[in-house]
Amino acid sequence: MRLGLQIPWFTYPEGPAALGPTLRRIAREAEQAGVSSIFVMDHFFQISMMGPPEQDMLEGYTTLSHLAAVTERVRLGTLVTGVTYRHPGLLVKTVTTLDVLSGGRAWLGIGAAWNEEEHRGLGVTFPSTSERFERLEETLRIAKQMWAGDESAYEGGHYRLERPLNSPQALSKPHPPIMVGGSGEKKTLRLVAQYADACNLFSAGPDSIRHKLEVLRGHCADVGRDYDEITRTTLGHVNLSVDGSDGQSVQEATEQLAGLAELGIDEAIVNMPNVSQEGVFEQLAQVVAGVEPLVPAGR
């Protein structure tokens, strides 16, 4: 089982002037600890589940490019890009650039978008739910076409690309892995079955995860897709106690993640409230060592 890191907070005690050095240290220490991936959110305001909108928030792909320059092994992606934020042709070009410059380490994380507040705040059109899912499916088709090297014109209901040229092509083969984020049973998980290499589910308890995976299995059967081709990931958090005064022990965090492996999860992506604290990655390395030998159920 693999362990990934999501970084959703950029408000650190040292302030914005230290953001660059702090993030570089976090990325290097996370890689040294053995995490398999580093993800950032693709938001422009802080989201309500994490804090007030005024909290510091960095643009996702600029941040990933910065982290690519100071790491060598970890995969890099957004968890996840809202389909409304970027034209699909430009999004594919952006992810391709990240993949090439990082040596083939990019993911395309994508979803239907939901944060209406930042759309309205920055003047980005926020279509209806049904239209956002239509745009998401078209974007997935465009990504597949561009990464296949097919330059024929694309004519869809929302997008028209006369020549979807993508040069240079991505280094990842056959293309950067596509992760569709979200747990919607009728639309999101169907799109995973049809187009994606990975799903991402919230760690909302074993019963919920088990049910969502069964729904995904059903969609795979409906579209003729091998369920076992899909990498199953979750998003949750661990709160490791560096000094033993509060938070989780290494054993408690390891047991928490082992429960996900028992459900068939291949990669648990976690965020940590004290991610910038000195010494936290020494403990995370022990957690990585504890979960790495675990074989997800069904694998």
Q: What is the pLDDT of residues 1-32, one digit of tens each?
A: 999 999 999 998 889 999 999 999 999 999 99
Residues 106, 95: contact at Cβ < 8 Å? yes
Q: What is the pLDDT of residues 124-176, one digit of tens each?
A: 999 999 999 999 999 999 999 999 999 999 999 999 999 999 999 999 999 99
Average confidence score pLDDT of the chain: 96
Q: What is the pLDDT of residues 238-263, one digit of tens each?
A: 999 987 778 999 999 999 999 999 99
Residue environment code for 61-95, b if the CB has 16+ CB neighbours within 10 A, otherwise e? bebbbebbeebeebbbbbbbbbbbbbebbebbbbb
Of 79, 99, 73, 109, nearest in space to 6 by CA: 79
Indicate yes or no: pTM above 0.85: yes
Q: Which two tokens stand for residue 249?
A: 């022990």
What span, in angstroms and rounded, lies between the C-alpha atoms of 273 and 115?
Answer: 22
What span, in angstroms and rounded, lies between the C-alpha atoms of 161 and 156?
Answer: 9
Residue environment code for 237-264, b if the CB has 16+ CB neighbours within 10 A, otherwise e? ebebbeeeeebbebeebbebbeebbebb
What span, in angstroms and rounded, lies between the C-alpha atoms of 97 and 231?
Answer: 23
Burial environment of residue 273 by CB neighbours within 10 A (0 to 12, 13 to 18, 19 or more): middle
Break the chain into its structural domains and give their ranges: 82-177
